[in-house]
Amino acid sequence: MGSAWIKTERSKEEYFTGGAMKMLNDRGAMAKKGLYTGIGAGLVLFALIGLLPGSFIGGMVGLNIAGGIFGLPVGASVFSRVIVGVSMIMGVMLAGVVFVVGSALIGWLIGYVIDAIRQSKTISVGHKVKIH
């Protein structure tokens, strides 16, 4: 019957480079956290200030399309209502994409800059030995 052994001994490299190696293994962690934070902020911003204007702008585009097809003033036919409804949905979706992708990109860039600053402050602990 086998048993699992947990290795508790450290190698010499782990003693000398423990902090630096952890920072190298966490490369991109802040960029990922910034991305997720930006996505969350974008969803909140979209819900607060992007939903209604996206619907209004999409509706106006739909009215212009229906007016170009059927003539102004737009009648209450089913097809013109479908055009206006679909364009309102497209306006809301486009506003959502702009808010979420834009804020996610900004969050990722901030996280990437923080990662770059952390990587530049990483100190190399080891030294080279030249044997003649």
**Is residue 37 scored above 90 in pLDDT?**
yes
Is residue 3 a contact partner of residue 72, using CB atoms and an 8 Å limit? no
Q: Comparing C-alpha atoms, which of 30, 34, 31, 40 is closest to residue 99?
A: 40
DSSP-derived 3-state class of residue 64: helix
pLDDT value of residue 30: 87
Q: Mean pLDDT lowest for which of 18-22, 75-79, 125-129? A: 18-22
- In this prediction the pTM is 0.68
Cα–Cα nearest to 100, from 53, 31, 50: 50
| Mean predicted confidence (pLDDT) in 44-69 | 93
